[in-house]
Chains A and B, each alone.
Chain A
Amino acid sequence: MDDLTFGGASGIIVLVAYAAVMLLIGYLAGRGQPNVRESVKSYYLAGGGLGFVALFFTLYATQYSGNTVVGYAPTAYRTGFPWLQSIMFMTFIIGAYLVFAPRLYAIAKKEEFVTPADWIRHRFQSTAVTLLAVLLMLWGIGNYLLEQLVAIGQGISGLTGDTVPYQIGVVLFVAVMLTYAWMGGMKAVAFTDVMQGVALLVGVAVLLGGSLYLIGGSLGDATQYLIQNEPEKASVPPLDVSANWLSLVLMVGFGAAVYPHAIQRIYAAESERTLKRSLAGMAWMPPITTGLVFVVGIVGISLFPNLGEGESEQLVGMIANEVAAINLFFYVMMILLFGGIVAAIVSTADSALLSFSSMISKDLYARHINPDASEGKQVLVGKIWGIVAVAILLVIAWNPPTTLYNIFVLKFELIVQIAPAFILGLYWKRLSSWPVFFGMLAGASLAGGMTLFGFGTVYGVHGGVIGLFLNLAICVVGSLLITPSKEEAARAERSAELSVR
């Protein structure tokens, strides 16, 4: 997003305005809940009382980031029509929720869960399994946060025409994010997500409208151009691309559904009805988010043909420049879009940060370091370690280690490995803790190892999915070989019980 001709001073004004609104929302959210500093559930889950609008948008902000726009349009540009898969893998997240959210919601409300690990602990009563799951989640979500922090900086320096340097931009926006999250916790995060989500949606729609206008208004023309010039991007893809498509649907679907901050949104729902309605609405968001971005990428092929891989990464900025030049309306909307992209990245980062802090507070500090700590102390420790983590991640972002850099890109591959413990544990009473532990460890090692050593996919299937199958096999075979003790069987029965409230 270098050299946005419409950026500069007006970009700075829009960013300052977005920042001011975020801070105001954070302040109001904090004032509206007096016990937000003393109660873990209040701070991390908004007291379990998120209504439809806030829950819907915070789910939206968790799944869609600024990267959905600035990263997916170039991918559509390079991949062509097979990138339609981006609609499907985002939709399947809702399918994956359907596997476990109904029961998990009911149990979480009954047992008053705060972190994802609360369920793992409740189900398996095993410190080893819980700690391994927490470690995988912290690692995955830390890297996810790192990616968002880098993207914030790129967005800001692009939008302001480098008048605000990358590092200063990141520090200022991260400070804003930390401040409103500190003041209002989950409620502030969810309410700012409403503003951030609306900005992104409107911006993407206008970007698409403008880019279609530039090519004469018809997607058919873009398709014809593609068929004549780059037919391989328009024709039925080879089988390994289809295998990759299905693999990505499975990995993103299950991985994003069991992201710690995604699970905590199940806990935070005010009621089952609210959760159902929010997710029912979410099922329609992929076509109008990744679907529109996909069309922007396809239109981009006729607007800016033959870009190399590096150049194509700048595609959204290049299209936005052209769109902003149409007239004043589009000019203003493109500034709002880029502000919205930055805001959307912030809104994804804040959810991840809050979830990170909650795991530090409850799963590590209150459980293993200071079990007598008051809830107020737990919240404070989580907040402070959240800031420390962000500071460390910023240092990594600016001085990427030359060796082992790949350990900072592992995300889905690691987090998806908690899916069997989470999902199978809900329904299969025989599932025992040690097979789960070794399954998770083996799956994460295989998936992480494959990524580290450069084998991201085999015949189109991702390392994360291969690791997941290994993990699942160990869980199932191991549990069938072990005869559970009477206590263990009774506990498994009780822990996933639905009927008694």
Chain B
Amino acid sequence: MHDRPTENRPIKEPIRKPWIWIVMAFIILAAIPWYLPGGTVAPIILGLPYWAFISVVFSLALCGYLSWLRLHEWDVVEEEEEREKSEERGE
């Protein structure tokens, strides 16, 4: 990997976007039942106590959100690497 001048290419790095972390904190806090009245169980939804159902929904939302972020909000060196790879293949 030799040095070469910086190219003006947008870098996508999650740390630079506050909304990513605000949404993540919201999902995490929503999945933990601190805001629900202690000791309650009913209603039962799909075989789970309601609060556990809410927790599962937000836990799955966290999985989906993180998976989506990986693929759409992260691009630091991918373009360069893929270009280098295709150049190597082309030679």
Footprint of B on A, CB under 8 Å? Answer: 81, 84-85, 87-88, 91-92, 94-95, 98-100, 102-103, 105-106, 109-110, 218-220, 222-224, 227, 231, 234-239, 242-243, 245-246, 249, 271-273, 276-277, 279-281, 283-284, 286-287, 427, 498-501
Contact = CB atoms under 8 A, between A and B. Distances in A.
Contacts, number: 156
Contact of B77 (A98, A100, A106): A106
B62 to A, nearest CB: 5
Contact of A501 (B24, B37, B55, B80): B80
Contact of A231 (B41, B66, B81): B41
B82 to A, nearest CB: 6
27 contacts: A81-B48, A84-B56, A87-B59, A91-B63, A92-B62, A94-B70, A95-B62, A98-B66, A102-B74, A105-B76, A220-B46, A222-B47, A235-B49, A236-B33, A236-B38, A243-B34, A249-B28, A271-B78, A271-B85, A272-B77, A272-B78, A272-B81, A280-B67, A287-B59, A499-B6, A500-B6, A501-B77
Contacts of B69: 98
Interface in B57-90: 59-60, 62-64, 66-71, 74-78, 80-82, 85
Contact residues of B: prevailing secondary structure: helix
A287 B80 CA distance: 34
B18 interface: no
Nearest to B5: A500
Contacts of A100: 15
A248 to B, nearest CB: 10
A220 B59 contact: no
Contact of B70 (A236, A242, A246, A279): A279
Interface residues of B, number: 52
Contact residues of A: prevailing secondary structure: helix
Contacts of A500: 3-6
Contact of B74 (A224, A238, A271, A276): A276
Contacts of B62: 88, 91-92, 95
Contacts of B14: 98-99, 102
A236 B51 contact: yes
Contacts of B5: 500
A280 B71 contact: yes
B1 A273 contact: no
Contacts of A498: 11, 13, 76
